[in-house]
Amino acid sequence: MNNSSQQQPQLQQQQQQQDQHSSPTAAKQEPVIKQEPAQLTSPQHTFASLQQQQQQHFQSAPYHGQQQQQSGSQTPSYIPGSSTGPMNAFSGLPPNPYSLHNHLLGLSMHGSASPSSAQGLGSPPFAQSAASGIVSRGNNSGSTTPSMAHASAPSSPVMNNMQQQQFGNGNAQYSHNGGSSLYHHSAVQHQQHYHNQHSSQHQHQQHQQHQHQQQHSTQGLPSSNLASGFYPTSPPHQHQQQQYQQPQQTAQHVSHPQFSSVPPAPLRQQQSLQYAPLVPPLTDAQYAQYHQLLGSPFSSAASTPYHSNQSTPYSSMPPSPTLDYQQLADPSQAQKPKRRQVKNACVNCQKACKKCDEGRPCTRCIKYGLTDTCVDSTRKVRKKGVKRGPYKRRPPPTQIGSASASTTPTLSHAVLGGPTGPAGYMSEPVTALNSPTQSHMLPFTSSAMGHLSGQIDFGYDAGQGSSNGGGYQFQSSRMENNYAPPYTTSYSGPGLYSSPYGMTGGNQNGGSTGNSNAPNNNLS
């Protein structure tokens, strides 16, 4: 639908759900690179070094079932600080051959079916509607699942954990056997569901890509693994990568602190940049070459667009959902890949507000010798029965000029005359604010917006902020004021979905206050 562009990344996520096994690798790199730069080979990997690492990575610790080993018995490779940063990531991951297999099997079986596990991979995302129907109902919490897609997509391991919780399993180790299939099943379902909602075009693209990938990437690895994208193959991805490359290279790489003296920008975007070093600024062509040279299926583990979902941050190629859009909208806005989060951080990481990973013990805990206490944190149960104000609907994308849509969120439609936009809406201070930014900033400059919103008194904000109840008061006040959320708009662009709306909208204001507190409450 509208969000198709957004979806890309997500699709990838989903597709890679299984990839997660692989992606975790990437995922771990992040922390390593970033937080533990010293340990790793420093962010500034050269291609050569990168290659080596990857190779080593693969050779030495392809996939052990370490997760099982767990406590204490980590293999050396597991330990951060070794030169095998990537490896750590890799090994740190759950990848257990069995689990992986099961995982895949589960997918293929439950997912929209695909004869081979490999296909299973690709299929889920594309299986859309058919599957979705099956899906959404019945799993854990109730009705929905649209969002699950997000979750499921990112990390299989995570999924497991998460789902375990949801299913009441409780324990973190992700179990394989029957369990895995079960979890995955749901995961798949969600994914599919999600896809339904949002993407469609991209799905096709990616689907194709996946196929290619599979075809190309068979080098002696179990098909399932390949399928899962466990070992990404560079060549297949290249074209896709190129799509994503530009934004990153142009913007991120260039601006990365590592490579430039550019002072840390206030924007969070910088964060993502940290990963850039893996691939110094290159032209598209160069980049492509690079991957070709690397050639090995593993070479691009982190960088493969497919994996990127999870690994987005780490990979230099991370197709963020927004990237495409950004590019289109405003190259100058190019941005950081979307930050990926684990579904459930361990208690230690949570407490420290540091990045966690799916592994248990997680990399960080291993590093700090907290393996004993590295367990999933418990999540609150969302309260039910909270009333919400009426939702605004976005006008169909078609109404909005495609051109304008791509470049501008077209807030105006909604705001001004949109079905959802009350007349009074424009008068709101917010709109004034928004209007300038909406054009391109909104989607990507959430941080900027955040600042703005923080500085600006929206009127309704005050009342709402204090409310605990969450959105309820907020909503009602809005209604009273006849106020429409700022960004509800008809933005048809790709994926700006969550953040733009969430942030700028009520969420931002109300949310930020609430949010900021949340962690503290929990953590402290």
CA–CA distance, 246 with 281 (Å, rounded to integer): 10
Q: Which stretch binds DNA (CB under 7 A): 16-24, 55-63, 70-78, 125-133?
A: 125-133
Kindly state the smallest distance separating residue 406's Cβ from DNA, in Å. 17
CB of 131 to DNA, least distance (A): 10
Does residue 451 bind DNA (CB under 7 A)?
A: yes
447 binds DNA (CB under 7 A): yes
Which one of the spans 151-159, 200-208, 225-233, 280-288 is the region binding DNA (CB under 7 A)? 151-159
Residues in region 360-399 near DNA by CB under 7 A: 367-368, 377-380, 382-394
Site string for DNA, 461-480 (x = CB under 7 A): ------x-xxxx-xx--x--
CA distance 477 to 84: 54
Q: Any idea which residue has 């006040």 for tokens?
A: 477
Q: Is residue 29 at the binding interface for DNA, with CB under 7 A as the rule? A: no
Q: Is 262 in the site for DNA (CB under 7 A)?
A: no
Q: Which is nearer to DNA, 215 or 516 (CB)?
A: 516
Cis peptide, bond prior to residue 80, ω within 30 of zero: no
Q: First and final CA of the chain: distance in angstroms?
A: 41
Residue whose C-alpha is closest to residue 483's, from 493, 470, 492, 474: 474
CB 77 within 8 A of CB 34: no
- Tell me, by CB under 7 A, how many residues bind DNA: 112
Which stretches within 229-299 are classed as H helix? 234-246, 254-255, 269-273, 284-294
Contact by Cβ (8 Å): 325, 405: no
Does the protein bind DNA through residue 242 (CB under 7 A)?
no
- Separation CA 375–CA 246 (nearest Å): 39
Query: Which residue in 12, 350, 410, 477 binds DNA (CB under 7 A)?
Result: 350
CA dist., res. 181 & res. 32, Å (int): 31
Q: Applying CB under 7 A, which of residues 59, 73, 144, 332 lies at the interface with DNA?
A: 144
Contacts (CB under 7 A) with DNA, residues 154-173: 154, 158, 162, 166
Does position 267 interact with DNA (CB under 7 A)? The reply is yes
Note whether 446 binds DNA by CB under 7 A. Answer: yes
- The Cα–Cα gap between 424 and 494 comes to 28
Footprint of DNA on 175-234 (CB under 7 A): 193, 196-198
Nearer to DNA, 6 or 217 (CB): 6
Residue from 483, 448, 446, 443 nearest 463 by CA: 483
Q: Which one among 32, 294, 356, 374 touches DNA, defined by CB under 7 A? A: 356
**Rounded-to-integer distance, Cα 113 and Cα 200, Å:** 19
Closest to 90 in 3D by CA, of 45, 53, 44: 53
To the nearest whole angstrom, how small is the minimum distance from the Cβ of residue 73 to DNA?
A: 21
* Least distance from DNA to the Cβ atom of residue 137, Å: 5
Looking only at residues 284 through 343 of this chain, which bind DNA when binding is defined by CB under 7 A? Answer: 313, 338-343
